Amino acid sequence: MYTLTPPKFDYKRASSVEEACKLLAATDGTKVIAGGQSLLVAMRLRLASPAVLVDIGHISGLGNISEEGMGLNIGATCTHSKLARSKEVMERFPILCEAAARVGDEQVRNRGTIGGSISHADPAGNYAPVLTALNAKIALVSASNRRTIAASNFFEGPYTTVLNGDELVEKVILEKKPSSGTREGHSFMKFSTMPQEFATVNVASIVAIKDGKFEEVTVALGALLPKPRIMAELGESLMGKAASAENIRQASQELHLGSEIISDYKASAQYRTHIAKVLVARSLLTAVNRATGAE
């Protein structure tokens, strides 16, 4: 039977982060494999031909979710399924569970990891807008260095991040601000041609409401731009206004997306712009309803 076989490589299974870092530094052309859900496809299509693959999927503890103060640390090899089902994450950052549950299909979610997803940096990936909106930090490690970088600076463009060849994503760090008497609501929405497909447009909305008015509005759009973008103007225009469906609709209609909108076989730039306006309005309304307990 004809099958697409990946190009030849040497497989190494790391048993610790230190060992993985050493292996990454040792040979040029070494790449990490976590869940393999993106990399194995890329290799079979000859879009990637690493000489050495370092498997980090068996490093014990690297996929853990742990509490840190009011925040959470999510280990790089935490699978989408584990994230989607996590009670701790659901309590503090429900938008992340929502995004994890909308990655691909059950089988992909059972293998694919958050670290792999953000390192792969498909512009239509689910986590980029969510982590940007949450102001998450990403901890990177190499044999010689450690650094922490804001999600908004981590993504550089399609399939491009700040990761150096010898660096590894170790964890995603989420900090929680103490609540100031406001009520928070989150919403992630993905519009795609089929439920399991990558997004045509996706959006992460986080709102805080006090006395029926917007105290905070963060909307990050993904999939239609080369990298996730916080819609700052939209946020400013809603701040202090009544959290009403009419105000949300109006602000969404005025969304300015600039000239970088992706146009491809899935959707033209014009269609994506239309979907973005509809999706932003829907997700903001959902976030508001969740904040006010209407949902």
Ligand X SMILES: Cc1cc2nc3c(=O)[nH]c(=O)nc-3n(C[C@H](O)[C@H](O)[C@H](O)COP(=O)(O)OP(=O)(O)OC[C@H]3O[C@@H](n4cnc5c(N)ncnc54)[C@H](O)[C@@H]3O)c2cc1C
Binding site for ligand X (CB under 6 A): 31-39, 56, 76, 103-104, 108, 112-113, 115-117, 119-120, 125-126, 163, 168-169, 196, 198
**Cα–Cα dist 210/194, whole Å:** 37
Binding of residue 222 to other proteins (CB under 8 A): no
Q: At closest approach, how far in Å is the CB of 51 from other proteins?
A: 11
Containing 137, the helix (H) or strand (E) segment is strand 137-141
Q: Tell me the C-alpha to C-alpha distance, in Å, between residue 250 and each of 12, 95, 188, 220, 234.
A: 55, 24, 20, 18, 10
Residue 125, binding choice from other proteins, ligand X, none, Cβ under 5 to 8 Å by partner class:
ligand X
Binding of residue 126 to other proteins (CB under 8 A): no
Q: Are 86 and 103 in contact (CB under 8 A)?
A: no
Among 24, 33, 89, 100, binds other proteins (CB under 8 A): 33
**Cα–Cα dist 272/250, whole Å:** 18
The two tokens of residue 169 are 């994503």
Residue 76, binding choice from ligand X, other proteins, none, Cβ under 5 to 8 Å by partner class:
ligand X
Residue 120, binding choice from ligand X, other proteins, none, Cβ under 5 to 8 Å by partner class:
ligand X
Among 1, 69, 180, 246, binds other proteins (CB under 8 A): 1
Containing 12, the helix (H) or strand (E) segment is strand 10-13
Between 120 and 282, name the residue whose CB sits nearer to ligand X: 120
The residue length of the chain stands at 295
Binding of residue 37 to other proteins (CB under 8 A): yes
Contacts to other proteins from residues 146-205, by CB under 8 A: 195-196
**Cα–Cα dist 275/203, whole Å:** 11
**Cα–Cα dist 229/154, whole Å:** 12
Q: At closest approach, how far in Å is the CB of 271 from ligand X?
A: 19
Between 211 and 265, name the residue whose CB sits nearer to other proteins: 265
Among 13, 92, 210, 213, binds other proteins (CB under 8 A): 13
Q: At closest approach, how far in Å is the CB of 199 from ligand X?
A: 6
- Give the residue among 210, 219, 206, 282 at the shortest CA–CA distance from 243: 210
Residue 117, binding choice from other proteins, ligand X, none, Cβ under 5 to 8 Å by partner class:
ligand X
Q: At closest approach, how far in Å is the CB of 91 from ligand X?
A: 23
> What are the residue ranges of helices labelled H in 45-196?
80-85, 87-92, 94-101, 106-111, 114-120, 127-133, 151-154
Among 104, 115, 116, 222, binds other proteins (CB under 8 A): 104
Side-chain half-sphere exposure of 130, counting CA atoms within 13 A: 28
Give the residue carrying structure tokens 């660096």.
Answer: 167
Binding of residue 106 to other proteins (CB under 8 A): yes
Between 56 and 276, name the residue whose CB sits nearer to ligand X: 56
Residues of this chain that interact with other proteins (CB under 8 A) are: 1, 3-11, 13, 33, 35-37, 40-41, 44-45, 53, 55, 57, 81, 104-108, 110-111, 195-196
